[in-house]
Structure 1
Amino acid sequence: MQRIHNATQLTDLSQDDLAQLYAYPADLAAPCVRANFVSSIDGAATSDGRSAGLGTPADKSVFLMLRELADVVLVGAGTVRAENYGGARTDPQRRHALHDAGFGGHPEGAAPPIAVVTASAAIDLDARLLTDTTVPPLIITTTTAPADRKQQLIDAGAVVVEAGDAAVTPKALLRVLAERGLHRVLCEGGPHLFGELLGADAVDELCLTTAPLLVGGTGRRISLSAHEFRHRMTRAHILLDDDGTMLVRWVRA
C-alpha cells in the first residue's frame, strides 16, 4: 500500500502558505486557465440547483484565495443567472501583497473583473453583476448579438467586447483576455463553458473540491460537451479538512 503524497491538512497552512500553493506561474506571456469547481462524492456539481449548496468552509477558503490571485474571473451567462453573481469581493492589501510576491493579485489591489461569455449578450440590466460590483464586468459577446442590448449593457457600466460572429470560441475568448493583459484566468463555470474549454484543450489546471456529501438527484457534472475527450492530468497537491472535505489541484500531465 502506498501513502498519498502531497496531502496536507488545511488547518496546518497559513494564508501565505495557501497563496504559495496556488500561485500562478511567473511572467506569463499568454493566459493560464485555472478552473475551480465543487462536486459531491457521487459526482453532482450542484445541490438544490446551485454549486453553493455543496460549499464547505474549506472550499470557501480556497475559493476566496483563488479569486485573490486571479486577474479575471470567467463565467458563462447561465452561471451568472443561476448563482446570482455580483462582482468579486477581494482584499486590496492582500491583492497588492500577492502581486509583490509574484503569486498573482494586482499591483494596485483592484478586484478582478467578472468576464461573462454570452453569444446573445443576454444579461439582465438589474443583475447584481452590474449593480453590485467595484469594477466593470467584461461582457464577451458576438457581432450578431442585438446592438441595442449591447449598448444597454455599456450604459449600465459594463465593458462589451465582440469576439466572434455567431459564437465565442475558446480561441477568441482567450485572445480577448490576452489583449487586456488578463493572463491569470479563473474559470468558475458553468459546465458548458468548462466543457468547451476542455474540448479545445485550453485548461491548464483544475481545482476540484469534493464535498463530503452524497446528494443523488439529477445534478449535472462539472463539465458538459458534445464530444468525449481524454486529457491526462497530474495531481499537484491535496488539501484535507477535518469535516472530510478534500481539495485537489490537478495540472496538465
Structure 2
Amino acid sequence: MQRMPNAIQLTELNHDDLLALYAYPAGPAAPWIRVNFVTSIDGAVTIDGRSGGLGTPADKKVFQILRDLADVVVVGAGTARSENYGAAHTDSQLRMRLHHHGFGGDPTGAAPRIAVVTASADLDPTSRLFTDTGARPIILTTAAAPADRKQAITGAGGQVIEAGETSVTAEGLRNALEELEMRRVLCEGGPALFGDLIVAQAVDELCLTLSPMLVAGTERRIAVSPNAMPTPMTCRHLLFDDDGTILTRWVAHHTL
C-alpha cells in the first residue's frame, strides 16, 4: 500500500526536522492561532479530568516543540485550574536559535508567557500560575469581572487585560495579543475556548494527537459550543510513531 505523501514515520525525523514541520509562517502580520490537543481514538480529551493520562512520548515531544516555537500560550481558566498550570519553561538557547532562523522562539531566549482566558477573573492568586518561577502571566478578562479579583491578580504578579465587556471575545483576544506583539499563538484548550474560536473563525491551525487508547466514560470532545461553524481544513502532515501515536497538523482554508 502506498503511503500518503505527507505521512511520515516519526523515527525518520530528527529534532530539527520537527521544528521545521511545525514552524509558524514567517513573520506573521497578525496573531496566528494554533490550537493543540491530544485525544484518545474514541474522542476523549481527558482521563479523570486531566489530559496527562493521554500523553505519549511522541505527544510530549511535540508539545514541548510547540511551546518552544510560540510567543504566548493561551489557555482557558478551567484547563489552567484542572491541569495546575504554571509558567512555561523552554530552552533559552534553542529559543534564540529558532528566532535567528525565523521559525519562532525569542531573540532573548525568554520563554513564552502564559495567557489565561477568564471572563470572571476567577483565579486563585496563590496558585502555581502565579507562584511558579517564570514569565509574568497574562490574564485576559472582562470589564465586568469583579474589581477585587482583578486587583488580587495584579497583586500576585499577573498582568490583567480587559478583552471584552462581559465575555472575552476572539477579536478582543487577538487585539490584546497584537498589542503585546505576540503573533505566534499556541492555544492549549480547553474545549469551550476552542469552540468559541472556531465559531469566530479565528482558528488558523490545529495540531491534534491521537493517543492509541480507548477511554469511554463521559469525557467531552476537543471543541464544544452552543453554535456550529463548519470550518474546512487541509492536512499538512501525519506523523506515525511506533507505539501507534498519530500526530496530525491541519490548517484552515482561509490561511491558504
Q: Is 2:219 aligned against 1:219? A: yes
* Equivalent residue, structure 2, for 1:114: 114
Q: How is 1:52-131 mapped onto 2 (pairs within 5 angstroms)?
A: 52-131=52-131
Residue identity in the other structure for 2:212? P
* Equivalent residue, structure 1, for 2:134: 134
Q: Are the aligned partners of 1:211 and 1:246 in contact in 2 as well (CA < 8 Å)?
A: yes
* Equivalent residue, structure 2, for 1:238: 238
Q: How many Å separate the matches in 2 of 1:17 and 1:133? A: 31
- Superimposed CA distance per residue, residues 134-188 of structure 1 (whole angstroms, 9 cap, x where no aligned partner): 1000001111111111111111111111111111111111100001000000000
Q: How is 1:1-253 mapped onto 2 (pairs within 5 angstroms)?
A: 3-253=3-253
TM-score, normalised on structure 2? 0.97
Q: Are the aligned partners of 2:86 and 2:130 in contact in 1 as well (CA < 8 Å)?
A: yes
Q: Are the aligned partners of 1:46 and 1:219 in contact in 2 as well (CA < 8 Å)?
A: yes
5+ long unaligned stretches in structure 2: none
Q: Partner of 1:81: helix, strand, or coil?
A: helix
7 and 105 in structure 1: CA distance in 2 versus 1, 3 angstrom threshold: same
Q: How many Å separate the matches in 2 of 1:32 and 1:133? A: 27
Q: Partner of 1:53: helix, strand, or coil?
A: helix
- Superimposed CA distance per residue, residues 46-100 of structure 1 (whole angstroms, 9 cap, x where no aligned partner): 1121111100000000000000000000000000011111111100000000000
Q: How many Å separate the matches in 1 of 2:165 and 2:248? A: 37
Identity %: 62
Q: How many Å separate the matches in 1 of 2:25 and 2:87? A: 25
Deviation at 1:2, TM superposition (A): 5.7
Q: Partner of 2:198: helix, strand, or coil?
A: helix
TM-score, normalised on structure 1? 0.98
Q: Partner of 1:201: helix, strand, or coil?
A: coil
Q: How many Å separate the matches in 2 of 1:64 and 1:22? A: 11
After superposition, the CA RMSD in angstroms is 1.0
5+ long unaligned stretches in structure 1: none
Deviation at 1:133, TM superposition (A): 3.4
Q: Partner of 1:219: helix, strand, or coil?
A: coil
Q: Are the aligned partners of 1:130 and 1:156 in contact in 2 as well (CA < 8 Å)?
A: yes
- Hey, which bits of structure 1, 4+ residues long, moved more than 4 A? none
Q: Partner of 1:74: helix, strand, or coil?
A: strand
Q: How many Å separate the matches in 2 of 1:163 and 1:195? A: 17
Q: How many Å separate the matches in 2 of 1:153 and 1:228? A: 34
Q: Bigger CA drift: 228-237 or 5-14? A: 5-14
Q: Are the aligned partners of 1:88 and 1:133 in contact in 2 as well (CA < 8 Å)?
A: no
Residue identity in the other structure for 2:189? G
Q: How many Å separate the matches in 1 of 2:57 and 2:133? A: 24
